[in-house]
Amino acid sequence: NFAFSGSEFERRTKIENSFGLMSAHISTLANQVMYECIKRYLASQHIVLVTIWCGILANIVNVFCLWLFLHHLQWSFIGAPIAGSISNWVMLLSILVISKWKDYFHLTWPGLSWKMFTDLWQILQIALPGTAMLCAEWWAFEILTLLSGILSTTDLAACTITVNVAYVTYMFPLSVAIAASTRISNNLGAGKPDIAKVVGRFCIFCGVLFSLFDGAIVSLLRHQIAGIFTSDEAVESIASSLLLILALFQIFDFTAGVAGGVIRGIGVQKYGALINFIGYYLVGTPLGLLFAFPFGLDLGSPGLFWGITVSLFLQVCGYGFLLVRVDWDHYSMIARTRGISSSKAAADEPILLNHPLISPDDEILVK
């Protein structure tokens, strides 16, 4: 209501001012990047509880700051991004303090050295396609929201509600995908491709099972969920219809999300990125435009979500084809070779160690 009241000129001015204030939150993006890197670093060592406690602490601080800035100090819109920025700082500082206090770095971090850059290109070859996989998905949903704004402010509000619900419910498959990626990569590096395969199948099964449960809840409570976000009857009506579509496409979204984690754990991100690009930008977005706007079927905002649903279905098919054909033994050998070569490059002198990516039964001489 704040952004869409008044004349057209006033409305545009308020939107621009709101965007300018919200951009204050961008200043903490570096904090989020550092936090995510440390979180993945700890997760690779099977240290996950610390990130849970840091998240709980940050959420408590965020709720307090929102109350303080929005209700007590009456800072209006600007209070929300400031509260979010403070929460991001709390997450980063807390994970650094706890990691230092618990000495989580001593086994894998000898200190600043030029040897840190020894395998940088090898890391980037894995990281960049993985980033492309995730960004292709996130950006597709942002494009969906932007396109809904062209239809009407009512469609924009309804799409924003639906996308926010999708983000919240996606946390479970995202966590399973992260766990799958970590466990599969560790087992492949330890020379246990059969266990890695079982982990992958089990994680995908969990994703499918939860998608069915979540889809049933969203479809049954779609009117109540929409009512939590808005009291506008027009927005609530459109949001309820979109949530019904969401219940269907979550089956494919959750399955694709977990399968993406399996693919990243194996190390075939470049194929996953290609599948995502084709699904979202060559199929999903064009179909959404065709379904939603007058030059096509003119379904409105539901057409945008039907386009995404089709793209997710195709991605599940593509991921399934890739995982059926992948040679687990081959990628296990690659992971073992990568771990051994990294240790050799970083060693000053011959030492005997149990490499963290190698089976505990194997002792290797690093020269």
The answer on 126 and 105 residing in a single domain is no
Q: Which pLDDT score is estimated for 319? A: 95
Q: Which pLDDT score is estimated for 58? A: 93
| Residue at which a domain ends, from 80, 109, 138 | 109
- Burial of residue 14 (CB within 10 Å: 0-12, 13-18, 19+) is middle
The answer on 289 and 222 residing in a single domain is yes
The answer on 294 and 357 residing in a single domain is yes
Least confident of 64-68, 103-107, 219-223, 344-348: 344-348
Residue 289 within a domain: yes
The mean per-residue pLDDT over the stretch 152-178 comes to 91
The percent of residues above 70 in pLDDT, for the chain, comes to 85
Contact partners, residue 287, CB within 8 Å, separation at least 6? 306, 307, 310, 311
Confidence of residue 112 (pLDDT cuts 50, 70, 90): confident
Name the residue with tokens 């219809």.
241
The answer on 66 and 170 residing in a single domain is no
Residue 83 within a domain: yes
| Domain count for the chain | 2
Output the DSSP codes for 223-268. HHHHHHH---HHHHHHHHHHHHHHHHHHHHHHHHHHHHHHHHHHT-
Q: End-to-end CA distance of the chain, in Å? A: 66
Output the DSSP codes for 51-75. HHHHHHHHHHHHHHHHIIIIIIS--
Token reading at 193: 């491709």
Higher pLDDT, 184 or 118: 184
Q: How far apart are CA 232 and CA 345, in angstroms?
A: 62
CA 331 from chain centre, in angstroms, equals 24
Q: Which pLDDT score is estimated for 54? A: 93
Could you report the per-residue pLDDT of 227-252, keeping only the tens digit for each?
999 888 999 999 999 999 999 989 99
Higher pLDDT, 73 or 27: 73
The answer on 326 and 177 residing in a single domain is yes
The answer on 192 and 320 residing in a single domain is yes
The answer on 214 and 174 residing in a single domain is yes
User: At 45, is the secondary structure helix, strand, or coil?
Assistant: coil
Contact 135, 280 (CB under 8 A): no
Could you report the per-residue pLDDT of 8-54, keeping only the tens digit for each?
556 555 655 666 666 666 767 788 889 988 988 888 787 888 988 99
The answer on 235 and 330 residing in a single domain is yes
Q: How far apart are CA 221 and CA 256, in angstroms?
A: 24
| Residue at which a domain ends, from 86, 109, 132 | 109
Provide the mean pLDDT of the chain.
Answer: 83
Residue 193 within a domain: yes
- Full residue range of the structural domain in which residue 94 is found: 1-109
Residue 367 has pLDDT above 70, yes or no: no
The percent of residues above 90 in pLDDT, for the chain, comes to 46
| Residue at which a domain ends, from 40, 75, 109 | 109
Residue 114 within a domain: no
Q: Which pLDDT score is estimated for 11? A: 56
Could you report the per-residue pLDDT of 249-304, keeping only the tens digit for each?
899 999 999 999 999 999 898 999 999 999 999 999 999 999 999 887 888 899 99
Q: Which pLDDT score is estimated for 354? A: 39
CA angle at 260 for the pair 254 and 265, rounded to the nearest 5°: 135
The mean per-residue pLDDT over the stretch 87-111 comes to 86
The answer on 291 and 201 residing in a single domain is yes
Name the residue with tokens 């069915």.
212
Higher pLDDT, 252 or 364: 252
Residue 115 within a domain: no
Contact partners, residue 356, CB within 8 Å, separation at least 6? 45, 108, 189, 339
Residue 361 has pLDDT above 50, yes or no: no
Taking Cα atoms as reference points, which of 248, 272, 249, 276 lies closest to residue 261?
272
Higher pLDDT, 64 or 28: 64
Residue 113 has pLDDT above 60, yes or no: yes
Residue 306 within a domain: yes
Residue 292 within a domain: yes
The answer on 326 and 194 residing in a single domain is yes
Q: How far apart are CA 207 and CA 95, in angstroms?
A: 28
Taking Cα atoms as reference points, which of 212, 213, 203, 237 lies closest to residue 223?
237
Largest CA distance in the chain: 75
The answer on 160 and 67 residing in a single domain is no
For the chain, helix (H) and strand (E) counts, in that order, are 14, 2
Residue 79 has pLDDT above 90, yes or no: no
Residue 116 within a domain: no
Could you report the per-residue pLDDT of 306-360, keeping only the tens digit for each?
999 999 999 999 999 999 999 999 999 988 887 655 555 444 433 333 333 333 3
Residue 221 has pLDDT above 90, yes or no: yes
Q: Which pLDDT score is estimated for 340? A: 53
The answer on 236 and 98 residing in a single domain is no
Residue 96 has pLDDT above 80, yes or no: yes
